Amino acid sequence: MARTKKSPRRRRRLAKGIIRLFATAAILLFLVYTPIFTLREVKLIGATYLTPDDILRVGEIYYGEPLFKLETDSISNRLRNDLRVEEVTVRRSLPSTLEVEVVERKPIATISCDYGYLDLDRNGKVIDSYKELKGMPIPMITGAQVSDLYIGDDIKDEPIRKILYYLQQMDDESLNKISEVAIVEADYVVVYTDMARAVQIRIGKLERLEEKARLTETFLKDLETNPHPVEYVDFNYTAPFIKLAQ
- Domains, the chain, with CATH or none: 35-104 (3.10.20.310), 109-244 (3.40.50.10960)
What's the confidence (pLDDT) of residue 26? 57
pLDDT of 239: 83
Asked if residue 234 has pLDDT above 90, the reply is yes
Give percent of the chain above pLDDT 70. Answer: 86
pLDDT at 3: 53
Split at pLDDT 50, 70, 90, the class of 171 is very high
Kindly report which listed range (29-33, 76-80, 111-115, 163-167) carries the lowest average pLDDT score: 29-33
Cα separation, 58 vs 176, in Å, equals 30
Distance CA 198, CA 238 (A): 24
6-15, 101-110, 175-184: least confident range: 6-15
Output the pLDDT for position 28.
57
Report, as an integer, the average pLDDT of 61-71: 90
* Residue 5 exposed, middle or buried by CB count within 10 Å (0-12, 13-18, 19+): exposed
Rg from Cα positions in the chain: 29
Q: Is the pLDDT of residue 156 over 80?
A: yes
What is the pLDDT at residue 27?
Answer: 58
Q: Is the pLDDT of residue 211 over 90?
A: yes
pLDDT on residue 15? 65
Q: Mean pLDDT across the chain, nearest whole number?
A: 86
Question: Given a cut of 60, is residue 4 above it in pLDDT?
Answer: no
Its pTM stands at: 0.73
pLDDT at 48: 85
Mean pLDDT of 83-95: 92
pLDDT of residue 231: 86
46: left (phi over 0), alpha (psi -120 to 50) or beta: left
Q: Which residue has the higher pLDDT, 66 or 45?
A: 45
Confidence of residue 196 (pLDDT cuts 50, 70, 90): low
Sheet containing 116-120: give its strands across: 126-130, 116-120, 109-113, 140-146, 178-185, 188-193, 200-204, 230-234, 241-244
- Which neighbouring-strand residues pair with 242? 233
Res 133: pLDDT: 84
pLDDT at residue number 210: 96
Which range (21-35, 105-119, 165-179) has the least confidence? Answer: 21-35
